[in-house]
Amino acid sequence: MTEEYIQVITAIAKREDAEEIANAMVEKRLAACVQIVGPIISTYWWKGNIERAEEWLCIIKSKKGLYDELEKSIKEIHPYETPEIFALSVVAGSEDYLKWLSREVKSI
């Protein structure tokens, strides 16, 4: 595996907003695929209080070299003041899937 692949995670309150993020990332070729999972329940600290909310999780398949642009693009759409955006390294994967991912995202 010569290229570095990532999964970027973000959670959002509305399914429609999750779909907007998914469509934008794929259309811009910052992601080969975005999976939307939910609803999920998130429990978290926010401004001194424990909050609980129903959210939708976007799992974004991309390359490490596209992370900065991907994060910026998510922030342009995401309505949260401090959106959850983080990347997980892909340590191994199906060779065919990773080749497909490389073909479908823009060149770095």
Per DSSP, helices labelled H in 1-108 are 15-27, 67-77, 95-104
Number of domains in the chain: 1
Question: Per-residue pLDDT for 3 more than 90?
Answer: no
CATH number of the domain that 85 lies in?
3.30.70.120
pLDDT at residue number 108: 82
61-99 pLDDT, tens digit each:
999 999 999 999 999 999 999 999 999 999 999 999 999
18-59 pLDDT, tens digit each:
999 999 999 999 999 999 999 999 999 999 999 999 999 999
pLDDT at residue number 1: 58
Range of the domain at 20: 5-104
Name residue 56's amino acid: W
Determine which helix (DSSP H) or strand (DSSP E) holds 36, and give its type and residue range: strand 33-46
